[in-house]
């Protein structure tokens, strides 16, 4: 009885490759699969296209009166949990033999009919699946999960699940806590820890050479001792939960690092959609081919959002409190999501200031969403739409059956290259693209999608043009223009919102004698850029 | 500088040399214990994945090397989880596995525990041998071991261990480590469920009797729910939710305390507490108004304000549920729209957040500005279910200001989307009730699509949309109908579904009273239209045939009825009558059973020659004038039938209500269900009583006083309760007396298992324990002999 009674991992042919029963009775995988299959038939007509039973199904669903199933796709495998559902309402029970007889009688009479709701939010399941995915990936050092990988690591998965689930409920799900409870002994970790030791010894020696002191030596040997103990399966001396009153349970206890660094990755994903302009285009397009610039007057985008994520990766000893100050560039970040370590009070009174005691290693510090269309101040939103601009013009040429895609990679001195630039040309059904004149890159056709692909590294500050024609299935030119084009690329060195890290410092805790190395990385990615 | 570089080079060189020599050594000599992972790495990963023979497994399990034991255990665990029907094979190793339970290696121990938990009830006697070792671990110096031990002990599904389990829980419940106390909450759940499944007593009555297991668990849980550590509280709340959900007496005195801890809990437990508090506030707190709020609610409100930044959509949805149901007047103060849209992406959570938005929109609890509409623009590469919900929201948000903006988006989807999405768009748009002007735009769009669309389902949806429009306001949309009939005549490539729907619509139209020129013109055209349709009746699809028959029936019954009301004789040579009889004749011999059935039914109700004249065959060509001359009696029969014509009017001429599209493909039931709260409200007469319950004191368990943990930088949190009692952390390893299982079994019933370590339990408790052991006696006697044999 409870949230999660069993967990399965299945491959894409619907075969169970891993089964773990948390609490019996639990349904068998076969039963779950049969039920899902029958629901899918009720639900959906064309099942021919996908092999897996899960595609097209809701992520959380009741398979019968007793069992609820939730699933998610993790790399190449499906993770499925099933749990017994609670009744929607439970009666309130009270047997308070109170001193005031009368009142108590009254109360029991009244309470006979009182019920409280007990419906579990579907998101409880999904949150567990997400947490499980994060933890497993981290313990397997970010490996891609395949059926073979799952089988090879069955014991590791079980050890993780032993801590993550008990009594049908998520038990310990925090990564740092689990790392402390389950010292990982994978090969990779060993190599990393060994190399870290070597590096530590080296750097301490260098330090002692440089400073003539061996202050750091002690700490490095301590940390190597600890990792040795891990390897032998001996427990670490202290643990997050040794004593009560630990207010930062997300951070490992007694963290010691010889390298002192904190790194911030600011990653933003752009989405924008620009509608086709209604204004008539010049009738004879031959001249526009040489006019490389994009039309100055642009339509108001239908969609213009930026999804930002701030990752923080630190190797800092002790319990440092870090203050990260972001220059928000007058953007409205809405209501960002923060890791639990962040003091949200400081943010809400002082937007842009993130103060926190970080967990060890890498974690997601915050996420935000900017809707550029919502900004009240009259800014030119085109300044925040990334480095690549695109335009699709149809009805060109003598026969008015040619179209042109213009692309502009803007110049920015912090960015040298645009990476993996690609334009997908989406055409009406039964049409193909014929390229007439292409200034850069070439036209490729992959899985019935036509792509204009560029070099892996494209220098900034150039204009590219693609002139083409749509062909009907018979090969005759068609008067249609492509439905829309989508652009994808990434670049390092800037983010579209132009948000910057103003400062990053340890304001308390941490070792005082060494100045930490600080690094900030800006990455732009695309989610959906579309010109109609 | 150069010197420094050289130094580094030498250092690194030495380091690598050292590393490689270690590795070489490890390969050469078996004495060096290398971690199994590295060993596997060195032997090309074969050790990890190889199949072991049964003798190898047993040898490994009995080996003295941790590495070999673990290799065997890992093999078994892999067998257990990844191979079907591996149970019989694994059970044969079970005793060998259990032997390793005393291992000092935590990894080994964990793996043994896992196997024990899976098979204990299948080989109970062997499983019971492990109890002693687990009990020993309960007093381990390391809290991880203790926590694991109590969780494992409670997972053994053998009712005979209940007394031991209860005593163990009693011990660990005051452990100094929050991890162990949190594990105790888990153990309480499992102990309770074990007891319930084997002693099927009624929970409510057993609670009155302090000696029963449920009653003891209830009291234990009360202790854990008073714990100051958020980790423990989280587990205790999960336990409460699973086994004592309706027992509000546990909550009343602690409500304010629990709320004060809300933000420190685990996310899963936050949700449980917020959900609980939502119902609690409705049932036991005075209804809040803008001017007055119970102190508990003010506290809860302030705690929830900081949770709007939570990275868990789960928590945010619970928070919204609370505000909607308890503090609806504060909804304006929280940034509802921004809080929800930040979770919109392309994952599973997005789906549920969108559903929540649909729920809020359906209940008019949230508003979006025009610039926020862009969140709901479907993207080309996202899953259909997400796009569908977005379209649902867009249609829901349609109003006069944003109509053009949204309509353009929808048209784009109809141009480029998948068929599935197009269908969803049209279905949803069909449900939209807009102004005449907007409807005209939609109608225009549908009409223009009808010709080029090949997808049958989609055509059907277009026509349905047009039909709804025409039915709702026939004379306002007469142009649409005229255009549709035009398509019927002019376009051969119209799909059968579309054709059938239009013919049906025409039939319906014939029922109406006409009062403008256009409709009169259309009505006059109908007989001709029918003639054109009947012309190639034989080539039509079944669907179309049915609708032609039905439409003709409607037309002819109208004529018959009209002439009857006027008192005139019916003109048996009207075009409609002829067509009607012709179609009846064709359908009487159609290959489709259903069509024949309908035909016969209509033939028996309405006057006609086809069914009244027995001689008529499929091939008889009826020349009406000549025919009437020959068979006048058929006409008499028709005249008789005419008397029953009212019935047919009833059958065919009643106006159909415009379809109310119930086909809302957006299934929102789970979110709706989740957003339901208790239907009851506070009984204000009882408020006093509840206030008293809340004022009850409880013992706050704060083990925080002697903290020696390295990073306790902040001052301890202020608990707003007057009853803080600090308990000395107890050294749990102190008074344990080592015992073998045999010792235990000999002493059972006379001593408690821990050899009198109950320093804080009063004489009452001791009595209780004696009682339990006595009750458990019977169970154990039965097993006694077995134990001794096996041990």
Q: What are the angstrom distances between the C-alpha of B16 and each of A191, A207, A218?
A: 12, 20, 22
User: HEC string of A418-439?
Assistant: EEEEEEEEECCCCEEEEEEEEC
Residue B329 maps to a domain: yes
What does the pLDDT read at residue B299? 94
Tell me what the pLDDT averaged over chain B comes to. 79
Give the separation between CA A495 and CA B66, rounded to whole angstroms: 51
- 3-state DSSP percent of chain B in helix, strand and coil, to 5: 70, 0, 30
Residue B173 lies in a domain: no
The pLDDT of residue B754 is 42
For residue B298, tell me if it sits in a domain: yes
**What average pLDDT does range B265-276 have in this prediction?**
94
Q: Name the phi and psi angles at A10, rounded to 5.
A: -125, 155
Mean pLDDT on B355-383: 90
State mean pLDDT over B307-314: 93
Mapping DSSP onto H, E and C, the string for A80-93 reads EEEEECCCCEEECE
> What are the tokens at B493?
């490539």
Contact B243, B193 (CB under 8 A): yes
B352 has a chain A CB within 8 A of its CB: yes
Q: Is A127 on the interface with B (CB under 8 A)?
A: yes
Pairing of strands A361-371, A303-315: antiparallel
Whole-angstrom distance, CA of residue A173 vs CA of residue A186: 20
Q: Establish if B605 belongs to a structural domain.
A: no
pLDDT of residue B685: 84
Predicted confidence at residue A102, as pLDDT, reads 41
Min mean pLDDT across A492-496, B120-124, B558-562 is at: B558-562
Q: What is the mean pLDDT of residues B690-695?
A: 88
Contacts of A166 in chain B (CB under 8 A): 151, 155, 183, 186, 190
CATH of domain A6-87+119-181: 3.30.450.60
Instruction: Note whether residue B278 is domain-resident.
Output: yes
pLDDT over 90 at B394, yes or no: yes
**Has residue B582 been placed in a domain?**
no
Of B89, B111, B88, B107, the closest CA to residue B98 belongs to: B111
pLDDT over threshold 70, residue B138: yes
Chain B contact probe: residue of A166, A374, A485 with most B CBs at under 10 A: A166
**Model pLDDT, residue B508:** 80
Assign A331 to helix, strand or coil: coil
Q: Does B225 touch chain A (CB under 8 A)?
A: no
Predicted-complex ipTM score: 0.87
Task: Report helix, strand or coil for A386.
Answer: coil
Q: Can the peptide bond before residue B469 be classed as cis, meaning omega within 30 degrees of 0?
A: no
What is the distance between the terminal CA atoms of chain B, rounded to a whole angstrom?
72
Mean pLDDT calculated for residue range B605-627: 76
- Using an 8 Å Cβ cutoff, are A21 and A6 in contact? yes
pLDDT of residue B733: 37
**Residue of B8, B148, B371 lying closest to A206 (CB–CB):** B8
- Structural domain boundaries, residue B276: 248-334+687-724
Q: What is the pLDDT of residue A50?
A: 52
CB contact at 8 A, A180 and A163 = no
| 3 state DSSP class of A351 | coil
Mean pLDDT throughout B270-291?
Answer: 92
Question: DSSP readout, B247-265?
Answer: BGGGTGGGHHHHHHTGGGS
Of A416, A402, A493, A398, nearest to A457 by C-alpha is: A416
Choose the weakest-confidence range: A438-447, B226-235, B746-755.
B746-755
In which element (H, E) is residue A313 found?
strand A303-315
Q: Of A193-202, B99-108, B240-249, where does mean pLDDT reach its minimum?
A: A193-202
pLDDT for the residue B742: 54
Average pLDDT on B332-338 reads 90
Q: Which helix (H) or strand (E) holds A323?
A: strand A321-327
Q: Are the C-beta atoms of residues B205 and B227 closer than 8 Å to each other?
A: no
Mean pLDDT along residues B173-180: 91
pLDDT at residue number B451:
72
The pLDDT-based confidence of B486 (bands split at 50, 70, 90) is: confident
Please report residues of B whose CB lies closer than 8 A to that of A510.
none
C-alpha closest to that of B479 among B448, B449, B440 = B440
Residue B705 has pLDDT above 80, yes or no: no
pLDDT, mean of residues B63-67: 86
pTM reported for the whole predicted model? 0.81
Alpha helices by DSSP H, listed for B50-174, are 54-61, 66-82, 87-99, 106-119, 124-129, 131-137, 143-155, 162-172
| Domain pair A256-386+494-532 / A387-490, same fold | yes
Quote the tokens at residue B768: 């209780």
Q: How far apart are CA A281 and CA A2, in angstroms?
A: 64
Contact between chains at A185 and B35 (C-beta distance less than 8 A): yes
Task: Name the residue with higher pLDDT: B773 or B102.
Answer: B102
Total tally of structural domains belonging to chain B: 1
Query: What local confidence, expressed as pLDDT, does residue A64 receive?
Result: 87
- pLDDT at residue A42, as a whole number: 56
In the Cβ-directed half-sphere of A24, how many Cα atoms lie within 13 Å? 12
Q: Coil, strand or helix: which one is B741? A: helix
In CATH, the number for domain A387-490 is 2.60.40.1170
For chain A, list residues with pLDDT below 50.
Answer: 44-49, 97-111, 187-188, 207-208, 210-235, 279-290, 292
Instruction: For residue B123, tell me if it sits in a domain.
Output: no
pLDDT for A225 equals 42
Q: Which residues pair with A520 in a beta bridge?
A: A264
**Residues sharing a CB contact under 8 Å with residue A345, sequence separation 6 or more, in sequence order:** B306
Residue A115, pLDDT score: 86
- pLDDT, tens digit, for every residue of B421-441? 998 899 888 888 888 888 888
> What pLDDT shows up at residue A132?
95
Provide the shortest C-alpha distance from residue A119 to chain B (in Å).
5
pLDDT of the residue at A480: 83
Q: For position B755, what pLDDT does the model report?
A: 42
pLDDT band at B312 (very low <50, low <70, confident <90, very high): very high
| Among A353-362, A479-488, B523-532, B659-668, the least confident range | B659-668
- CATH fold of A256-386+494-532: Immunoglobulin-like (2.60.40)
Span A173-182, pLDDT tens digits? 988 888 888 8
- Give residue B245's pLDDT: 87
The enclosing H or E element of A337 equals strand A337-338
Placement of tokens 């398979």 in the chain: A63
Task: Please check the confidence at residue B628 and state whether its pLDDT lies above 90.
Answer: no
The string of DSSP codes covering A128-187 is HHHHHHHHHHHHTTTPPP-HHHHHHTHHHHHHHHHHHEETTEE----HHHHHHHS----H
Please check whether residue A523 is in contact with residue A268, taking contact to mean a CB–CB distance below 8 angstroms: yes
Q: Best interface-test mutation with B: which of A25, A179, A207, A241 has the largest number of B CBs within 10 A?
A: A241
Averaged pLDDT, B735-758: 46
Whole-number pLDDT of residue A289: 46
| Three-state SS at A305 | strand
Do residue B110 and residue A162 have CB atoms under 8 angstroms apart?
A: yes
Distance in angstroms (rounded) separating the CA atoms of residues A333 and A247: 28
Q: Does B677 touch chain A (CB under 8 A)?
A: yes
- Mean per-residue pLDDT, B377-398: 90
Residues A422/A464, Cβ–Cβ less than 8 Å: no
Q: What is the pLDDT of residue B670?
A: 81
Token pair belonging to B287: 């209804």
Rounded-to-10 torsion of CA A291, A297, A303, A304: 80
Of A327, A374, A354, the closest CA to residue A498 belongs to: A327
Whether B119 shows a pLDDT value over 70: the answer reads: yes
Share of chain B above pLDDT 70, in %: 79
Find the CB nearest B352 among A92, A122, A247. Answer: A122
Residue B283 lies in a domain: yes
Strand bridging mode B724-726 / B700-702: parallel
pLDDT at B110 over 60: yes
In angstroms, rounded to a whole number, what is the distance separating the alpha carbons of residues B573 and A244? 100
Dig out the tokens for A106 from the structure. Answer: 């009254």
The residues spanned by each domain of chain A are: 6-87+119-181, 186-231, 256-386+494-532, 387-490
**Measured between alpha carbons, how far is B535 from B551 in angstroms, rounded to an integer?**
15
């Amino acid at each position: 009885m409870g949230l999660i009674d069993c967990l399965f991992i299945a491959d894409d042919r619907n075969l169970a490759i891993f089964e773990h029963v948390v609490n019996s009775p639990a349904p068998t995988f076969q039963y779950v699969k049969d039920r899902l299959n029958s629901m899918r038939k009720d639900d959906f007509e064309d099942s021919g296209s996908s092999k897996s039973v899960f595609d097209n199904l809701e992520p959380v669903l009741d398979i019968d009166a007793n069992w609820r199933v939730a699933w998610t796709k993790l790399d190449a495998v499906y993770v499925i949990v099933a749990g017994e559902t609670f009744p929607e309402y439970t009666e309130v029970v009270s047997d308070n033999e109170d001193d005031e007889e009368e009142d108590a009688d009254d109360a029991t009479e009244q309470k006979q009919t009182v019920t409280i709701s007990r419906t579990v939010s579907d998101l409880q399941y999904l949150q567990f699946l997400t947490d499980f995915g994060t933890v497993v990936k981290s313990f397997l050092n970010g490996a891609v999960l395949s059926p073979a990988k799952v089988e090879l690591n069955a014991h590791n998965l079980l050890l993780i699940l032993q801590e993550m689930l008990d009594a049908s409920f998520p038990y310990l799900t925090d990564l740092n806590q689990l790392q402390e409870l389950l010292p990982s002994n994978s090969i990779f970790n060993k190599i990393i820890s060994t190399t870290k030791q070597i590096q530590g010894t080296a750097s301490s020696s260098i330090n002692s050479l440089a400073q003539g002191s061996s202050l750091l030596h002690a700490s490095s040997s301590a940390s190597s001792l600890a990792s040795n103990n891990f390897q032998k399966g001996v427990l670490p001396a202290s643990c997050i939960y040794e004593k009560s009153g630990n207010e930062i349970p997300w951070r490992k206890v007694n963290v010691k690092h010889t390298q002192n660094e904190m790194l911030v990755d600011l990653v933003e994903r752009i989405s924008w959609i620009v509608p086709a302009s209604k204004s008539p285009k010049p009738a004879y397009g031959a001249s526009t081919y040489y006019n490389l610039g994009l039309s100055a007057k642009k339509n108001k985008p239908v969609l213009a959002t930026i999804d930002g994520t701030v990752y923080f990766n630190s190797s800092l000893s002790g319990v440092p409190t870090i203050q990260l100050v972001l220059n928000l560039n007058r953007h409205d970040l809405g209501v960002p999501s923060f890791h639990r370590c962040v003091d949200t009070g400081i943010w809400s009174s002082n937007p842009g200031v993130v103060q926190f005691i970080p967990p060890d290693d890498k974690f997601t510090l915050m996420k935000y969403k900017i809707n550029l269309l919502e900004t009240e101040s009259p800014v030119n939103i085109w300044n925040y739409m990334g480095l690549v601009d695109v335009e699709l013009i149809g009805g060109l040429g003598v026969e008015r059956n040619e179209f042109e895609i213009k692309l502009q990679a803007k110049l920015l001195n912090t960015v040298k290259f645009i990476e993996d630039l690609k334009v997908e040309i989406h055409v009406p059904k039964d049409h193909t693209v014929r390229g007439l004149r292409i200034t850069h890159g070439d036209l490729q056709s992959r899985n019935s999608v036509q792509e204009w692909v560029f070099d892996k590294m494209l220098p900034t500050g150039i204009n590219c043009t693609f002139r083409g024609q749509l062909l009907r299935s018979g090969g005759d030119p068609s008067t249609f223009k492509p439905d829309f084009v989508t652009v994808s690329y990434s670049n390092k060195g800037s983010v579209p919102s132009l948000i910057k890290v103003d400062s990053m410092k340890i304001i308390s805790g941490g070792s005082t004698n060494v100045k930490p190395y600080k690094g900030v990385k800006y990455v732009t990615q695309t989610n959906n850029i579309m010109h109609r | 500088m150069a010197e420094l570089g050289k130094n580094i080079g030498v250092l690194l060189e030495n380091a690598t040399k050292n590393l490689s020599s270690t590795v070489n050594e490890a390969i050469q000599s078996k004495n060096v214990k290398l971690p199994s992972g590295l060993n596997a790495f060195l032997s090309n990963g074969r050790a990890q994945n190889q199949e072991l023979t049964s003798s190898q497994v047993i040898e490994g399990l009995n080996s003295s090397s941790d590495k070999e034991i673990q290799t065997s255990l890992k093999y078994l665990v892999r067998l257990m989880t990844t191979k079907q029907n591996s149970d019989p094979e694994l059970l044969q190793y079970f005793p060998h596995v259990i032997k390793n339970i005393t291992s000092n290696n935590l990894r080994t121990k964990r793996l043994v525990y896992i196997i024990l938990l899976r098979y204990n009830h299948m080989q109970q006697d062997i499983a019971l041998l492990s109890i002693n070792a687990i009990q020993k671990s309960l007093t381990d110096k390391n809290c991880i071991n203790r926590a694991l031990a109590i969780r494992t002990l409670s997972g053994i599904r053998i009712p005979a261990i209940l007394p031991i389990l209860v005593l163990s829980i009693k011990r660990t419940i005051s452990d100094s480590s929050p991890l162990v106390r949190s594990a105790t909450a888990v153990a309480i759940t499992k102990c309770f469920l074990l007891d319930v499944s084997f002693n099927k007593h009624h929970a409510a009555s057993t609670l009155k009797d302090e000696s029963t297991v449920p009653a003891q668990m209830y009291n234990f849980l009360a202790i854990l729910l008073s714990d100051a550590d958020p980790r423990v509280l989280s587990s205790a709340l999960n336990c409460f939710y699973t086994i004592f959900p309706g027992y509000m007496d546990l909550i009343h005195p602690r409500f304010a305390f629990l709320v004060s801890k809300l933000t420190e809990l685990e996310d899963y437990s936050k949700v449980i507490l917020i959900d609980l508090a939502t119902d609690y506030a409705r049932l036991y707190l005075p209804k809040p108004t803008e001017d007055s709020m119970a102190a508990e609610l003010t506290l809860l409100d302030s705690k929830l304000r900081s949770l709007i930044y939570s990275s868990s959509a789960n928590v945010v949805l619970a928070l919204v549920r609370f505000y909607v149901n308890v503090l609806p007047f504060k909804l304006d103060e929280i940034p509802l729209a921004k809080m929800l849209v930040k979770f919109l992406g392309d994952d599973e959570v997005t789906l549920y957040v969108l559903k929540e938005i649909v729920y809020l929109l359906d209940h008019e609890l949230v508003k979006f500005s025009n610039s926020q509409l862009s969140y709901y623009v479907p993207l080309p590469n996202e899953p259909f279910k997400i796009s569908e919900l977005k379209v649902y929201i867009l249609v829901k948000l349609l109003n006069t200001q944003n109509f053009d903006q949204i309509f353009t988006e929808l048209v784009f989807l109809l141009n480029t989307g998948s068929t599935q999405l197009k269908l969803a768009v049209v279905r949803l748009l069909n449900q939209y009730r807009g102004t005449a002007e907007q409807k005209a735009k939609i109608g225009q769009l549908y009409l223009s699509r009808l010709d080029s669309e090949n997808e049958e389902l989609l055509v059907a949806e277009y026509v349905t949309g047009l039909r709804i429009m025409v039915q709702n306001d026939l004379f306002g949309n007469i142009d649409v109908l005229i255009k549709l009939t035009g398509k019927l005549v002019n376009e051969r490539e119209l799909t059968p579904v579309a054709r059938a729907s239009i013919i049906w619509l025409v039939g319906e139209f014939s029922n109406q009273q006409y009062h403008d020129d256009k409709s009169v013109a259309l009505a006059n055209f109908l007989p001709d239209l029918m003639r054109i349709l009947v012309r190639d009746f034989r080539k039509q699809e079944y669907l179309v045939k049915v609708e032609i028959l039905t439409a003709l029936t409607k037309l002819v019954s109208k004529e018959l009825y009209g002439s009857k009301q006027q008192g005139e004789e019916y003109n048996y040579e009207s075009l409609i009558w002829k067509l009607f009889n012709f179609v009846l004749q064709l359908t009487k011999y159609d290959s489709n059973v259903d069509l024949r059935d309908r035909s016969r039914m209509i033939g028996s109700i309405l006057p006609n020659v086809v069914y009244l004249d027995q001689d008529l065959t499929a091939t008889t060509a009826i020349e009406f004038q000549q025919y009437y001359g020959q068979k006048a009696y058929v006409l008499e029969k028709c005249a008789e039938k005419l008397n029953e014509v009212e019935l047919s009017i009833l059958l065919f001429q009643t106006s159909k209500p415009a379809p109310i599209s119930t086909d809302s493909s957006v299934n929102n039931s789970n979110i709706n269900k989740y957003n339901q709260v208790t239907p009851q409200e506070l009984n204000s007469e009882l408020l006093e009583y509840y206030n008293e319950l809340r004022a009850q004191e409880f013992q706050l368990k704060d083990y925080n006083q002697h903290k020696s943990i390295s990073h306790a930088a902040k001052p301890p949190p202020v608990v707003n309760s007057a009853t803080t009692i600090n308990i000395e952390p107890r050294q749990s390893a102190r008074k344990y007396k080592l015992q073998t299982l045999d010792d235990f079994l000999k002493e059972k019933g006379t001593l408690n298992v821990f050899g009198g370590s109950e320093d804080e339990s009063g004489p009452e408790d001791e009595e209780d324990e004696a009682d339990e052991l006595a009750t458990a006696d019977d169970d154990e006697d039965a097993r006694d002999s077995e134990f001794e044999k096996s041990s």
